[in-house]
Copies of this chain bind each other. A is one copy, B any other.
Amino acid sequence: MGRRAVIDMESWVCPVPLRDSPNVVMGHGGGGAMSQQLIEHLFLPSFGAAADANMGDSAVLDLGGLRLAFSTDSFVVRPPEFPGGSIGDLAVNGTVNDLAMVGARPTALSTAFIIEEGTPLVEVARAAEAMGAAALAAGVRLVTGDTKVVDAGSGDGIYINTAGVGVVAPAVDIGPRRAQVGDAVLVSGDIGVHGVAVMSCREGLEFATSVRSDTAPLTDLVAAMIRSGADIHTLRDPTRGGLAASLNEIAAAADVGVALQESLIPIPAGVRDACGVLGLDPMYVANEGKLVAFVAGGDAEAVLEVMRAHPLGAGAAIIGTCVPDHRGMVVARTALGGTRVVDMPAGEQLPRIC
């Protein structure tokens, strides 16, 4: 009470229109530039000395020689069930994948529900069943939990938070800063699938499509890639903000240029069509069972082969390279031979996709 906030809005920069709007907007949760600004200019200064300077999707802690990966995500997707999955699947796979992206073998998850009063118990049970099945599939245990109930009108059915822990093997060193010039950029399969699947059944936006969410645990695929002995520098699951946000984050973190060949990016017809109708760019649409990998150029073909041999990497492709030009930026060569800058998204094309 009466605590004074240190937030200095004058220091906030474009593209966040914060000097004019002092309130939270949907884009702050979009995983793009506005989310980054919120972390950089609000959370980190407010948390102060207690915060790790590079609070990322997963932390890797050194606990007496054991390298522990630790990650959290909340899930507020609407509708809670969609073609190919549900909020329960996302809640498990999302955190499992964040752990896998630092090369960890996920071990255990926590499960925290915030439920709106009046929500049918069977809806809670369905979400929990999906979590149980997804956890079994991903090889993680659900070990601790919490339930809060908020009064009707103060929530929206079910929100689920999971946190996860996992162990990083001693020889593994995977992170956004390790990407370097000469790396090949690979993606594990079709992009834009999850986002289109959720949009396709959203109230007020329903349209026919055969696209089903790709929600899946990437643990085994990553383990196979690591076992191959390839020099894997960086992994990322391109969720909110899509492939564009992930590539921009990595380009900025490693200070490299990312040069893409647009024609090599696997975009299924269903996603292309839906994006055409909705006026969206597939590069910015969320994925929930894909990864992007930055791998030493000489190892790229070998890794590609390993990925393609795995069910979750069957559609893998090399889509570009790391270059010394346009550092911090992602540039795509189009089918027509021109180039375009693939910007960091500001907010989110469609919110509450996970």
Which residues of A are in contact with B by a Cβ distance under 8 Å?
A: 1, 3, 5-7, 9, 18, 22-30, 35, 38-39, 42-43, 46-52, 55-59, 61, 63-64, 66, 68, 70-76, 81-83, 86, 107-108, 110-122, 124-126, 128-133, 135-136, 140-151, 153-156, 159, 161, 163, 165, 167, 351-352
Kindly identify which residue among B86, B108, B114, B126 contacts A114, using a CB–CB cutoff of 8 Å: B114
Copies in the complex: 2
Of the A-B pairs whose beta carbons lie under 8 Å apart in the complex, a sample of 17, sorted by A's number, is A1-B82, A1-B86, A6-B129, A23-B118, A29-B115, A29-B149, A30-B149, A43-B128, A46-B125, A46-B126, A48-B133, A50-B136, A55-B145, A61-B165, A63-B66, A72-B144, A150-B156
Nearest Cβ in chain B — how far from A53, in angstroms? 10
Whether A46 lies near B132 (C-beta < 8 A) is yes
With A24-B115, A118-B23, A121-B42 as contacts: A50 and B142 at CB distance below 8 Å:
yes
A125 CB contacts on chain B under 8 angstroms: 5-7, 42, 46
Whether the Cβ atoms of A73 and B22 lie closer than 8 Å is no
Chain B residue numbers with a CB within 8 Å of A131 are 46-47, 50
Query: Which residues of B have CB within 8 Å of A38?
Result: 147
List residues of chain B with CB within 8 A of the CB of A146.
72-74, 161
In the complex, chain B residues whose CB is within 8 Å of the CB of A1: 81-83, 86
A140 nearest in chain B by CB position: B50
The answer, among B108, B129, B352, for a CB contact under 8 Å with A150, is: B352
| In contact, A7 and B68 (Cβ under 8 angstroms) | no
